[in-house]
Structure 1
Amino acid sequence: MRNAFVLAAVAGLVLSAPAAAQLPPLPAPPVVQSMPGGPDYAAVLASPIRTDEDRARDETRQTAIVLGFTGVRPGWKVVDMIIGGGYFTRIFSAAVGPGGHVTAWQPAEFIGFQASYAEAIEAADALPNVDAIRSPIAAPDFPYDLDLIFTAQNYHDLHLRPFAADTAARVNTAAFSALKPGGFYVVIDHYAVDGSDLSVADDLHRIDHDTVVREVEAAGFELDSMSPALWNDDDPRTANVFDESIRGRTSQFMIRFRKPE
C-alpha cells in the first residue's frame, strides 16, 4: 500500500503540544476544558496497568486535561477508536475500573499493515476489562449502550485515499448507533489550516476542524464543547505532522459531541 498510508497509520503516536496563551478562533458553544464534577485522575495516571513509557508521555500529551474533557468515570463503557499503540486504551482501562468496560478498536487494515499494531491490540485484549475488535475501517463492530467513544489523532485517517469516500460517514453513523442517549463522542486531531480540503489528510496527516464538526453533526450528534488546551501558536498548520520542525508539537483540537437524549 502507498507510503502515505504508512505515515497516517502511525499518526496516533505523535505527541500533543503544550497549550499557548493565544487561543485559536473557535465557534460557539463556549470553550471548556473539562466536564463538571469529574473524578481526580491522579490515581488513573499512576495505575500499574500503564507503562513507564506511558507516564513519560503524560505531560506532553496533557493527559489529565484530556481525561477531564472526556468526563470518563468508573463503571463507564468506552470505545477507544483506532488505538495505535494502546496508550489511551490503558488509561481508559484504569479509569473505568473493574465495574466498567473498554472496547479497543484497531482496524483490520492497520493490523495487516504494521506488526506493532497487531501487537498493541493483542496486549489490549489481555487486560481484564478490555475486549479488542479488529473489524474493517469502514465497518466498526462497536458494542451498544456506550457512554463514550474516543479517538485521538486518528480521525483524519478515515479520509485517507486508499479508503472509500464514505468511510468517515459510516464510522460516525456506527458511533451514533453505539452510544446511549446522552453519550459522548470525543475527537482529538491535528489542526489543518482553516478551510483546508481533505487532501491534507494524506499530505499532512491533519484535518480541518470545521470539516470534523460538519461530518459528525451530519450523523446526528450535537456539538457539546471544545477545548483549546492542545493549541500551539508555533504550529503553522502547514507542515506534515512528522516534519521535525513541528513533530510532537502540533496544534490539536479537542471536540466533544453528544448524542441527543
Structure 2
Amino acid sequence: MQHLSMIGLGAALMLLPAQAAQAQVPTHIAAAVADAGRPGVDVYRDDRRKPAETVAFAGVRPGQTIAEMIPGTGYYTRILSKAVGPKGRIYTLPFSEPRAPASRALAADPAYGNITLAAGTPLNLGIAEKVDMVWTSQNYHDIRAGRAQLNKAVFDALKPGGTYLVIDHSAVAGADEGVLLSLHRIDEAVVKREVLAAGFVLEAESQLLRNPADARKTQVFDREANRNTDQFVLKFRKPAAP
C-alpha cells in the first residue's frame, strides 16, 4: 500500500510542471483563445504560434487599449479583442487598402464590438487617444522604409509605461534589407537597435517561438519552413513619466 502511495505521489509530481505552465496563462486570455468565433485555420496554427502564452507574456489585461499594426486576416485581432473585454478597445491598423478588408469586416462584426478600424499610416497611427500597447506580429519586416518614423509614431501613440510588442521571423545575423524583400525575415539585432533608438527600453524577450532547426535562410512561405520559422518575441517599454 505504501509503495502504491509513493507511485501516486511520483505521478502527481510529474504533472506539476505542466500545471505550472498552464497556471501562467490568466483565465481571461485562455478564454480569448478558446473563443468559438475564431476561424478553424487560426486554431490550426495555435500549436506553433502559441497565442495564449504569447499574449500572457505581453501582459494583456482586461480594459486595455491596444493598437495592432498590420493585422493580416485578424489572427491576433480576435484574441486581443476578447482578452481586453468590453471595457477595452482594439484599434486595427492595416496601413493600406489591400490589407483592409479583413480588418473592416472584424470592425463591423458585433461579436467583436470593441474593434475600431483606424486609417493610420506608419508615419501617423491616426489614433485619437493614447494606448496601452502597440502590437505587431510577423510584419515589422514589411515596413520597407521609414521604420525610424514608425517607431517614433508608436512611441508617441503610447501612454507612459506602455508596451510595444514585436514578433517577427528571424534572419541570420547581419542580414541586409534585401533579405526583408526576398525572405520576409529580419535580423533581430536590427529590430532592437531601431526600436531602442526611438527611446524605448527592452523589458523582456521570450523564447516561446524559437526553432533552432530553422536555418533562417529560406523564405517564410517556403513549404518546408512554413509554420516552423524561428521567431523572436520582444517586449519593449516606453519609459514612464518622471
What residue ranges of structure 2 are gaps of 5+ in the alignment?
A: 1-20
Q: What percentage of aligned pairs have identical amino acids?
A: 43
TM-score with structure 2 setting the length: 0.83
> Is contact 1:104–1:131 with CA below 8 Å preserved after alignment?
yes
TM-score with structure 1 setting the length: 0.78
> Is contact 1:187–1:256 with CA below 8 Å preserved after alignment?
yes
> Is contact 2:122–2:149 with CA below 8 Å preserved after alignment?
no
Structure 1 or 2, whichever has the larger Rg, is 2
> Is contact 1:104–1:124 with CA below 8 Å preserved after alignment?
no
Query: Which residue in the other structure is 2:9 paired with?
Result: none
Shift of 1:172: 0.6
Query: Which residue in the other structure is 2:192 paired with?
Result: 213
C-alpha distance in structure 1 between counterparts of 2:194 and 2:128, whole Å: 22
> Is contact 1:144–1:177 with CA below 8 Å preserved after alignment?
no
Aligned length: 215
CA distances 1:25-75 after superposition (whole Å, capped 9, x unpaired): xxxxxxxxx9x9862322111223423332222122111111111110100
Check if 1:141 corresponds to 2:126.
yes
Query: Which residue in the other structure is 1:76 paired with?
Result: 64
Shift of 1:256: 0.3
CA distances 1:92-126 after superposition (whole Å, capped 9, x unpaired): 10000001000001012xx23xxxx3320111211
C-alpha distance in structure 2 between counterparts of 1:254 and 1:142, whole Å: 25
Shift of 1:225: 0.5
* One of 98, 109, 121 as aligned partner of 2:103: 121
Query: Which residue in the other structure is 1:39 paired with?
Result: 26
C-alpha distance in structure 1 between counterparts of 2:155 and 2:120, whole Å: 17
Counterpart secondary structure, 1:254: strand
Residue identity in the other structure for 1:122: R
> Is contact 1:144–1:180 with CA below 8 Å preserved after alignment?
no
C-alpha distance in structure 2 between counterparts of 1:183 and 1:37, whole Å: 21
Check if 1:229 corresponds to 2:217.
no
Structure 1 range deviating more: 50-59 or 226-235: 50-59
Structure showing the higher helix proportion among its residues = 2
C-alpha distance in structure 2 between counterparts of 1:50 and 1:241, whole Å: 24
* One of 52, 68, 86 as aligned partner of 1:64: 52
